[in-house]
Structure 1
């Protein structure tokens, strides 16, 4: 569980630090767009009040989304605590939980998630922005799908460790 908690902690810290630096220190909230490595990487301010890609942003679902993220995070932590899982499963759980809590803090502080990373390639304009928490949630969910069910420990060792 230590790996899961430490991963979640560092994902949360990096997510919140990057949001603070880009949104406030670099003043993206006023600039709205900062070219970093045009045309591939641009910071574009986007306040996401909905779920992925701004879906359902027309509804005031802030507290529903906060509650849902907390419930899912607790369920993932309980699942990993109960089943153990491989090292990669525990790491993936930490990615997902850290990212989810990072976005929860945004919803509580700003009523929306601060998205700012915009990547474009090959002449195709990408209208969407995301953040470090979104990346961690995505990779964590994929990791949990691929790495759960495989444990580094035998069942007896797992029971002893969880006792």
Structure 2
């Protein structure tokens, strides 16, 4: 593989995403009691230490071990590999899209790593804006995946607008 500035940018975003996520999870495992809740900003923003054996919001945690391995380890690794291959080969992607895809890949790899290393994913943040906006308990990897998806949608709309104007 030829290491161009573009390739280095992609790999750096992925590596930094994984590093930030893993550091935050190591800190949480070491400093936050499992099952506890600590207020950061009142009830609006709280800190937890929850081990999630499933995917988003615990979905799939009741699956048998074989299905859980296929759906939460094998399938994500295959999809992440295909997405990485795509962004390395598609030279038409702009930097915003590259950032978005790389963030998604980094977050995905970080959570897959947790499933392999610990058998679950450590989640620790919760936001509740008085019922107007409420999240499940999540982690930095989830934040990068979600942010990447939002940025990808924005980049897609920008690209369509630019194509329309041309």
Bucket of the pairwise TM-score, normalised by the shorter protein? 0.7 to 0.9
Tell me the equivalent position of 1:44: 48
User: CA offsets per residue over residues 37-84 of structure 1, 9 Å max, x none?
Assistant: 211111122221122111121113442211122111111111111212
From 1, 13, 16, give the equivalent of 2:19: 13
Q: How far off is 1:125 after superposition?
A: 9.3
Aligned partners of 2:50 and 2:124 also within 8 Å: yes
CA contact (8 A) 1:46 1:116 kept: yes
Can you give the 5+ residue segments of structure 2 that lack an aligned partner in the other structure?
A: 1-6, 160-166
Matched, 1:101 2:103: no
Give CA deviations for 1:98-129 in whole Å, capped at 9, x if unaligned.
10111011101221111110111125795720
- The one of 141, 144, 155 aligned to 1:136: 144
Could you say what the CA RMSD is over the residues aligned between the two structures, in angstroms? 2.2
**What is aligned with 2:76?**
69
Question: How many equivalent residue pairs?
Answer: 148
Contact 1:4 1:91 in 2 (8 A): yes
TM-score by length of 1: 0.81
Structure-2 separation of matches of 1:135 and 1:5: 18
TM-score in terms of structure 2 length: 0.79
